[in-house]
Structure 1
Amino acid sequence: MSETFRLSDYQILIGKEDVIERHLHGILSDAPESSENQDKTKKALEEVLKEMRVRFGTILKTDNVSFLIGAGASLTTGGVSLANIPKPLERMLLDKAKEEQQGDAVPAWITLFYSIASMLSQSEFSFESRYEQFQSKEEDAISAIGLNLEDFLSQLHTWFAGMLEATETLKLTGASELVISKNDLADLIKEIIGSLTVLLNLPKSGLDDPLQSHRKFIKKVLTRPLNLRRVSLFTLNYDTLIEQAGDAEGSVLVDGFVGTLRRVFRPESYDIDFYFPAQTTEGRVHRFDRALHLYKLHGSITWHSCKPDSENPFGLYATLYNQDCQSDDVLIYPSPMKYGQALGMPYSELFRRLGNAIVQPQSALFVIGYGFGDDHVNALIRQALAIPSFTLVVV
């Protein structure tokens, strides 16, 4: 622990009770700023943290352990939050539109982007004003468009799927009408997904050991006793940081895809396990200790859609994380996903696996970097919380 520390940086809640405050209450109520009490506070805090590490270690040895990983876990590697339209993504769209601009005529897709953003956010945005802001100001000084990017993309796909004519007139409650061309909408979706795929090709260059935290996490998870069930890693992120960390640690990630030259989605592969062969024909087999199950609930920048056939019944294949592919077939949460709507494959299968994993007896779910913004996930967690033996740990 650093010599100079702020107690406010440490908080551990069990239910609504602050464990640190409970243990340190006597010290803090008696001249907390004095040098003597500062030393007492540090020692007491160290004891509390030591106790909680033991407690978390015990939870890690629960029979069924799962992790739910959100965007916050990727921020240190150059990742972005999708709670708003990411400013780096908007900058990429602006630069691409500027390249395509002919005279005063800007591409129709960027005009459509700002028209839809203005309608949904009930604020005024335009290509000209936003481009001027991004050219004249530091990025931190620019206000982001306050729309969740995944919700925004989902809305675009919903409209595209519902368009019967080449041009449709859209009317939202309380908003003016907007004429949308199906081709322009398709171009906009393609540009957003293409830019997002580039943006989330993490880690960004120039970072010092960017996979350190993810590798440490994988290594820790693999220390579970072999008589317990495999750990399940559920992530809402599109990036491949977990896969890269798993490769670096020499682990096998069962991610639902099978194949060597062309990896296709086969959900039954999640039921496969790995064992070392016995020394004799009747000897005891030993379980392979470096395997984890990975479920990418929102898709991945390495997932691509194609026409289903007998060899690929779900029309889904995976590529290497840095392999060049067409951006318009990248599968990242592209279908209508509002809570209450039916989930299509592969999402329905992945969410079913999440729900089944956390409702098992003696289950624990560690939540890391997730802001509880997905209604489907939240409903499954609420369902699990009704089970007395379920443990939820939010980091």
Structure 2
Amino acid sequence: MLIYQGGKEIDEDDFRSHVYSLCQLDNVGVLLGAGASVGCGGKTMKEVWQSFKQDHPDLLSLLIERYLLVSQSDSDNDLVNVELLIDEATKFLSVAKTRGSAAEEQEFRTILSALYKGVTRAALLTGDEFREKNQGKKIQFKYHKELISKLISNRQPGQSAPALFTTNYDLALEWAAEDLGIQLFNGFSGLHTRQFYPQNFDLAFRNVNAKGEARFGHYHAYLYKLHGSLTWYQDDSLTVNEVSASQAYDNYIQSIINEQDYYRGQHLIYPGANKYSHTIGFVYGEMFRRFGEFLSKPQTALFINGFGFGDYHINRIILGALLNPSFHVVIYYPELHNALLNVENNVASEGEKAIVTLKNLTFNQVTVVGGGGDAYFDSFVKHLPYPVLFPRDNTVDDLVDAITKLSKGEGNVPF
């Protein structure tokens, strides 16, 4: 396990003590990237690109040789940012429409359909079972539930609820919170029609029956999906809505992953890949504004896991936040050793250059954890402490199962 703080290596005991202290700060949040969902069925953008290359060699040839949107070197080394490629392909499609080139327009529709399909499949997590209810009960979301439980249980009276930032489209956090009975404020509200209202991020739940400090206990967390979600879509009236997983699957996702349905992909919310960019820009802009605002608050800790630092915008916000003297960031980066070697040999990707820059900073505000499996999502969650009085085992789930069995008349259930 490689751990660096302020550019210097520290031991594991000091690191665990540091993490415990950070969990007591007034504002605690996490930033999760694609790597945080790999353990529950997701794929990284690198794996999405590898699948695209294997499944669509003809389209790969068009991107490299005819339209020069991808370099041969980046393709061979799997350095292509699929999200940015979707953005560029969308621009080329617009130019093809303007020029009246039907052949080019069809080629880019086919390219975009294939890219949408790859990104969407990677985010389903549970495959064809995506539309089913109670997904959070599945064992693959164990660590997402533990993460939310630990973050909320460490909050003290008067402190803010935890903030969950993610670049993922998947529903791992939503499903985990739902199974725990935790309410997530994600900017959308409404019973039958859920629409985006930024003021929802300024709301909170409290127990009206509690007295004194107890009334400030937390029953919720804030969720900011920086790159959109599989269940967000925009209708023809330019309104951004959130729908259930089953409705999203039946109305949009199924067509995208089973057919070359470019039109359906234009309704789902992918960064840079929506024709109604002025409306979607408002949603994304608000998410990023809240991210920067959170990092600027006093006494703030941010834990980063599964994020490859390939998003320049996010990198700049994090670097800028270090001007806040009471901001601390802990970054889990499994391939840290390889990144150091690649930077030394001048063959590093932009993401690797960013993480090495952060690792070399002499600020004690920055802690970087490497070491392969020691920096994976499950290891990160295990490093977060439970409060002293919090039960270590999942007694809530055990109690729910016992009550369910009793209600079915399955006999005596030991407690």
Which residue of structure 1 lines up, in the alignment, with residue 243 of structure 2?
319
Q: Which residue type is aligned with residue 178 of structure 2? A: D
Do residues 243 (structure 1) and 174 (structure 2) align?
yes
- What are the equivalent positions in structure 2 for 1:277-292 lying under 5 Å apart? 277-278=208-209, 286-287=215-216, 289-292=218-221
The change in CA–CA distance for 1:145 and 1:389 in structure 2 (over 3 A counts) is: closer
Letter in 2 for 1:181: E
Identify the residue that residue 228 of structure 1 maps to in structure 2: 159
The one-letter code sitting in structure 1 at the alignment partner of 2:125 is L
Structure 1 residue 265 and structure 2 residue 196: aligned? yes
Q: 1:205 to 1:214 in 2, by over 3 A?
A: farther
Counterpart residue number, 1:304: 233
Aligned to 1:116: 63
Aligned to 2:341: none
Q: Which has the higher contact order (CA 8 A, sep 6+)?
A: 2
1:144/1:201 Cα in 2 relative to 1: closer, same or farther (>3 Å)? farther
Match of 1:14 in 2: 5
Equivalent AA in structure 2 for residue 56 of structure 1? V
Determine helix, strand or coil for the equivalent of 2:140. coil
Say if 2:46 and 2:78, in contact at 8 Å, map to a contact too: no
Gaps of 5+ in 2: 130-136, 257-264, 333-415
Aligned twin of 1:366: 303
Percent identity (aligned): 26
Q: TM-score, normalised by structure 2?
A: 0.66
SS in 2 for 1:383: helix
Contact 2:81 2:310 in 1 (8 A): no
Give runs of aligned pairs for residues 1-395 of structure 1, distance below 5 A: 10-20=1-11, 48-49=12-13, 51-83=14-46, 85-89=48-52, 94=56, 111-112=58-59, 114-118=61-65, 119-123=68-72, 146-165=79-98, 167-168=100-101, 181-203=104-126, 209-223=139-153, 224-278=155-209, 286-287=215-216, 289-308=218-237, 315-322=239-246, 323-326=249-252, 327=256, 328=265, 329-335=267-273, 344-395=281-332
Distance 1:330 1:275 in 2: 33
The Cα offsets for residues 211-240 of structure 1, whole Å up to 9 and x where unpaired, read as: 111111111011111310111111011111
How many Å separate the matches in 2 of 1:115 and 1:164? 18
Change (3 A) 1:258 1:53: same
SS at the partner of 1:65?
Answer: strand
Distance, in Å, in 1 between the alignment partners of 2:26 and 2:111 is 46
Deviation at 1:86, TM superposition (A): 2.9
The structure whose residues are more often helix, as a share, is 2
CA RMSD of aligned residues (A): 3.2
Gaps of 5+ in 1: 1-9, 21-47, 95-109, 126-141, 169-178, 309-313, 337-341
- Distance (Å, rounded) in 2 between the aligned partners of 1:258 and 1:208: 26
Cα deviations across residues 346-389 of structure 1 (Å, max 9, x unaligned)? Answer: 11110000000001122111111111111110111111111211
Greater alpha carbon shift after TM alignment, 296-305 vs 197-206? 197-206
CA distance 1:273–1:251, shift in 2 (3 Å): same
1:151 offset after TM fit, Å?
Answer: 1.4
What is the deviation of 1:12? 1.7
Are the equivalent residues in 1 in contact too, given 2:161–2:218 (CA < 8 A)? no
Query: Shift of residue 180 of structure 1?
Result: 5.8
Whole-Å Cα distance in 1 between the matches of residues 295 and 107 of structure 2?
42
The worse-fitting range, judged by mean Cα deviation, of 145-154 and 371-380 is 145-154
Number of residue equivalences: 305
Q: 1:123 to 1:285 in 2, by over 3 A?
A: closer
Contact 2:96 2:104 in 1 (8 A): no
Corresponding residue for residue 132 of structure 2: none
| Change beyond 3 A, Cα 1:285–1:57 | closer
The match for 1:135 is: none
Q: Rate the CA distance shift 1:226–1:90 in 2: closer, same or farther, 3 A.
A: farther
